[in-house]
Structure 1
């Protein structure tokens, strides 16, 4: 082996070593030899759920960055997200930790947010939401299975009994056995009742078998319906009258809501009271006629004179009768 071949082999092994070192470095640095250009966002969670550096950050299923760092801060876990410089994240966007399949790794999923929302500034904190992971779902399924098992056990115990007392089936069997005679009598009575109905006996039997009674029942129901319609019409008319009264329309509305009409009624009532007071005290002609006994006596005397004058007319001629009547009255 000459010196040139040996030098070539050493150079080849050197290049292979450099390539191996490069591949190792790329793998450990998440496939990036230098830090990506872009900006950082902070996402805080109660639990990062096995999220690690290098995991993807996706928006609408498209990769827009990766997890640059994970840390604990103020009793919570934070993930520092490195977002590509050409991607803008809306200020109302929400980040969640999502699992890629049943055995896949976790990644950060960010929704699109509102189209008119302002973008988050570099170094800002993005809103987050905790979603159930596979472990939580399996734990809840386990708890549900335990509850279902307990419920089925209670149901089975209620059906079959707990050893101290009989279950539901035993109680039903005992109830039927103890009341066998009563149940038989009840069934016999039901059979007799259905037989009477089939024969048309009794009111129910006639209703079932007599078409005339059926027609009369239908006609009666029609009359009841008509009466109900008339009642509805009456109520509607009454409501219309009430609305008119409330609006001050008509005589009754004017009496209730018109102040001028009310004042006039008050004046009329006062005048009637004054007239009744005057009549009670004997004032005026009508009051004297009602309260003065002298006028009553004079009227009786005049009637007696007229009676005597009429008696004298029978024995006198026409001219004498006029004179007798005048003398009797005056």
Structure 2
């Protein structure tokens, strides 16, 4: 046997042994890789997974599948993780595929826990949706679509429904044509209406800006008045503090006196403790109270108003205080901020109510004047007219307005200012608050 034949036989036998060894072991790296530590993973289905399948973390091979067995209707997969690789306890193992048609492997999705798995621990398994299940669901969806198509075909095949659809389409076409004709005929009018609405909105915005500016001026004026009288206000507060202390002292003395009265000491104590004297005094007080109530029955109506005059864009504020005696006689006093003179004026009037009418006379805005109030629908609506400044040329100042009271605590105003003199006539409106 020649030397060449011996070398050929040796190489052939060596290659044959290497091929057999590779098919038996499956991975030459397993020979040189040290032993790792075992972990268990449970899947509902391990279809396509074989022994010695790779285990990867972040796409890097870190172990292999050692064994697959059935346990309690689940696939128990024993994996071996290489030494030096730590797996967090909350990591999840799932089945993945290398490429679209490649072999399956186990991919470990890392967790965030600080503790790591120990040999023999169990990882949570996540079974992905298989292509077979997706195909079954697609078949189910296709079957439902087919049934819906058959139902739609049956509905459209009915003569009644077909005619109804045709009639509906005809109605839609007719409505569209009418709408187009309406737009062509009224295009200019609609455009003009939109432009006018825009102008009205702009005017209202300007008016509201003026109202806000006037309110701001009024607030600034009030702040100025308070600032000018700050010293007096501080002195009044000190006086109030002194008065409170004196009141506390008086209350203590009153408490001592009441304690003596409860013991029956003094004339008043004897009077209270003696039932006969007490009953006589109570009768006398009751009679006196009845007499006083008949003479001095009164009530107080304080109000605050803010009015806006539309022509001159001015605002007028008014604080009123009306005293009613026995619901008939009344005395009214007012402080008004005159927007034309830019100063405060006052009114003081007295009157008597006869049924729904209440005439009054006195000073109106610091000038002599008369007025008449008409109480319509109890107190829900009131119409008022007044005349004053009779020496003014060419005629006195007349004012007419109405008050609508949806509640006893607030009301709306609407009226005409100086309505007998055309150059100064203007409409005003506002809001009042009853305290």
Category of TM-score, reference length = shorter chain: 0.5 to 0.7
| Richer in strand (by share) | 2
Q: 1:219 offset after TM fit, Å?
A: 2.6
Match of 1:278 in 2: 284
1:115-154 alignment to 2 at 5 Å?
117-154=114-151
1:180-195 alignment to 2 at 5 Å?
187=178, 191=181, 195=185
Q: Is the 8 A contact 1:99 1:133 kept in 2?
A: no
Match of 1:237 in 2: none
| Richer in helix (by share) | 1
Structure possessing the higher radius of gyration over alpha carbons: 1
User: Which of 5, 19, 24 lines up with 1:23 in the alignment?
Assistant: 19
Match of 2:97 in 1: 99
Structure 2 residues not aligned, in runs of 5+: 216-236, 238-246, 255-278, 296-435
Q: Distance in 2 between matches of 1:166 and 1:228?
A: 63
Q: 1:110 offset after TM fit, Å?
A: 0.6
Match of 2:167 in 1: 174
Q: Distance in 1 between matches of 2:137 and 2:131?
A: 10
Root-mean-square deviation (CA), in Å? Answer: 4.9
Q: 1:172 offset after TM fit, Å?
A: 3.6
Q: Is the 8 A contact 1:66 1:82 kept in 2?
A: yes
Structure 1 residues not aligned, in runs of 5+: 232-249, 251-259, 268-273, 291-330
Q: 1:124 offset after TM fit, Å?
A: 1.3
Q: Distance in 1 between matches of 2:92 and 2:198?
A: 70
Deviations 1:165-192 (A, max 9, x none): 333xx32433577x79xx59x93x9857
Q: 1:49 offset after TM fit, Å?
A: 1.8
User: Which of 219, 229, 233 lines up with 2:203 in the alignment?
Assistant: 219
Match of 1:85 in 2: 83
Q: Distance in 2 between matches of 1:208 and 1:19?
A: 95
Q: 1:216 offset after TM fit, Å?
A: 4.6
1:68-79 alignment to 2 at 5 Å?
68-79=66-77
Q: Is the 8 A contact 2:66 2:80 kept in 1?
A: yes
2:160 aligns to what SS in structure 1?
coil
Match of 2:158 in 1: 163
- How many residues are matched? 230
Residue 54 and residue 193 in structure 1: after superposition, are their counterparts in 2 closer, same or farther (change >3 A)? closer
Q: Distance in 1 between matches of 2:103 and 2:87?
A: 23
Match of 2:65 in 1: 67
For the pair 1:52 / 2:36, whether they are aligned, the reply is no
1:24 aligns to what SS in structure 2?
helix
Q: Distance in 1 between matches of 2:80 and 2:285?
A: 110
2:63 aligns to what SS in structure 1?
strand
Residue 208 and residue 54 in structure 1: after superposition, are their counterparts in 2 closer, same or farther (change >3 A)? closer
Q: 1:135 offset after TM fit, Å?
A: 2.5
Q: Is the 8 A contact 1:42 1:124 kept in 2?
A: yes
